[in-house]
């Protein structure tokens, strides 16, 4: 029972080669009662020659009884604590045990030092922080790769794996998505993601000395870190205890970074530091600002715009205003055009599930995803575009002025944060047996 890739990662890591347990299905909240899918045999392994069914969570109780389920394993992230209790109650009342897997059992060991960037709640600034650390280590002469949390469920079918989901130079048993990001003033950094994170890890290790885990929501890392940095948003600090597994990440943290300090009074930061000390007194606490940078702001003034944002951030963070919306406000646009009337396919389904959304989400990298996005962009009658996604969409963007908007990280103690990151990397290479 889960989503956002942690469900598949839990299966791959714990159950795929375990002949003593039989996994009878995954559940999905996206499916109606008559819907179903299959986690393909190419990923499920030899114990599951027909793959593993993906079934509607709405029928959870009936599935437990019909399939004679003994255990239901919880594999969600960014879930309200009361909802966790409600799901547990449904499972227990239906006659099955409700299980959680410790994050440490799901962290893959690696021969490379890993700096993991997680958060107590979504929207705290993990990707800008991962980019900041990558730039720092690149300047030090290390080969750096980012391993990114899976961004969506893949459209599994009988032909999976398929070439369009894999651009990695490594041959693996499962598709590995390879992209690149370019930190300011630095060479491009490879970014790896996928479904089977052992395959993802193998590909990343082949290209890098150091790996940076870029998490999603409040999910703990899939890789075993040498340094675990957990971000906190002071505007939503209560979410760490209200949403699971935010507090788990805080308790696992080697260091905590309170981001977006420029958005709240100083006394609020002081109170937050004290509260975090009660949860994890051993963690070193840093603070930082997270300003929005706009490249091409002069192209927006007085024009109508459509805004592109990452779909996973929107899904996990209650459709909060992001970098693109802030860029529009600061640049004096004439109006923000709502793209909802021009959406088709998966985009239309996204808006039905998230009716408050006012931006155009980038939902995935498949040809169908990109085709729907391109069609919507072409149809929206805006005079300019604000691209606040983390991808290179230049081939999709219509012939209109485009401004890029993104959050950056401005630590208050950059030397201290840099020393912590460098210590993690150097200690790993100095003593291979000291990975925690």
Do 58 and 13 touch, CB atoms closer than 8 A?
Answer: no
Alpha-carbon Rg for the chain, nearest whole angstrom, is: 22
Residue 141 confidence (pLDDT): 95
Would you give the DSSP letter of residue 11? Answer: I
Which residue from 286, 291, 290 is spatially nearest to 415, judged by alpha carbons?
286
Residue 169 confidence (pLDDT): 34
The phi and psi torsions of 135 (rounded to 5 degrees) equal -60, -40
The phi and psi torsions of 45 (rounded to 5 degrees) equal 95, 175
pTM: 0.85
SS (H, E, C) 145-176: EEEECCCCCCCCCCCCCCHHHCCCCCCCCCCE
Interatomic CA distance for residues 259 and 295, integer angstroms: 22
Residue 162 confidence (pLDDT): 34
Residue 321 confidence (pLDDT): 64
Dihedral angle, C-alpha 79, 81, 82, 87, nearest 10 °:
60
Per-residue pLDDT of the chain (436 residues; tens, 9 = 90+): 998 789 999 999 999 999 999 999 999 987 877 778 999 999 999 999 999 999 999 999 999 999 999 999 999 988 999 999 999 999 999 999 999 999 999 999 999 999 999 999 988 999 999 999 999 999 999 999 999 998 655 556 444 443 333 333 333 345 788 888 876 667 889 999 999 999 999 999 999 999 999 998 899 999 999 999 999 999 887 767 889 999 999 999 999 999 999 989 999 999 999 999 999 999 999 999 999 999 999 999 999 999 999 876 665 444 456 889 989 999 999 999 999 999 999 899 889 888 888 899 988 777 888 899 999 999 999 999 999 987 778 888 888 999 999 889 999 999 999 999 999 998 765 544 433 3
HSE (side-chain half, CA atoms, 13 Å) at 118: 31
Element (H, E) at 227: strand 227-232
Interatomic CA distance for residues 73 and 27, integer angstroms: 10
């Amino acid at each position: 029972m889960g989503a956002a890739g942690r469900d598949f990662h839990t299966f791959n890591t714990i159950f795929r080669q375990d002949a003593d347990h039989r996994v009878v299905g995954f559940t999905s909240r996206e499916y109606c009662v008559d819907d179903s899918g299959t986690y393909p045999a190419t990923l499920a392994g030899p114990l599951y020659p027909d793959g593993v069914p993906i079934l509607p969570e709405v029928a959870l109780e009936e599935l437990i009884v019909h399939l004679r389920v003994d255990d239901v394993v919880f594999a969600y992230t960014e879930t309200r604590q009361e909802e966790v209790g409600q799901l547990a109650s449904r499972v227990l009342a239906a006659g099955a045990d409700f299980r959680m897997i410790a994050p440490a059992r799901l962290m893959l060991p690696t021969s490379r030092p890993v700096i993991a960037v997680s958060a107590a709640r979504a929207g705290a600034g993990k990707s800008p922080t991962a980019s900041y650390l990558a730039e720092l280590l690149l300047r030090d002469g290390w080969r750096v790769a980012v391993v990114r949390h899976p961004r969506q469920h893949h459209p599994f079918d009988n032909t999976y794996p398929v070439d369009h989901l894999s651009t990695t130079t490594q041959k693996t048993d499962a598709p590995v998505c390879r992209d690149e990001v370019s930190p300011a003033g630095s060479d491009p950094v490879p970014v790896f993601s996928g479904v089977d994170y052992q395959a993802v890890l193998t590909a990343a290790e082949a290209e890098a000395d150091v790996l940076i885990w870029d998490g999603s929501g409040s999910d703990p890392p899939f890789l075993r870190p040498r340094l675990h940095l957990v971000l906190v948003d002071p505007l939503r600090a209560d979410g760490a205890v209200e949403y699971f597994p935010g507090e788990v990440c805080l308790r696992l943290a080697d260091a905590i970074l309170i981001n977006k300090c420029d958005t709240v009074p100083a006394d609020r930061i002081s109170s937050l530091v004290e509260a975090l000390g009660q949860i994890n007194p051993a963690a070193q606490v840093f603070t930082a600002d997270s300003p929005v940078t706009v490249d091409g702001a002069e192209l927006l003034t007085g024009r109508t715009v459509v805004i592109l944002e990452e779909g996973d951030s929107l899904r996990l963070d209650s459709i909060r205003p992001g970098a693109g919306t802030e860029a529009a406000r600061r640049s004096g646009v004439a109006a923000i055009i709502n793209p909802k009337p021009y959406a088709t396919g998966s985009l239309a389904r996204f808006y039905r599930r998230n009716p408050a959304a006012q931006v155009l989400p980038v939902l995935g990298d498949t040809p169908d995803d990109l085709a729907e996005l391109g069609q919507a962009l072409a149809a929206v009658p805006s005079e300019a575009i604000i691209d606040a996604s983390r991808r290179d969409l230049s081939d999709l963007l219509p012939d209109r002025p485009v401004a890029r908007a993104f959050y950056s990280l401005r630590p208050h103690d950059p030397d201290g944060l840099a020393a912590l990151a460098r210590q993690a990397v150097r200690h790993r290479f100095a003593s291979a047996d000291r990975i925690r």
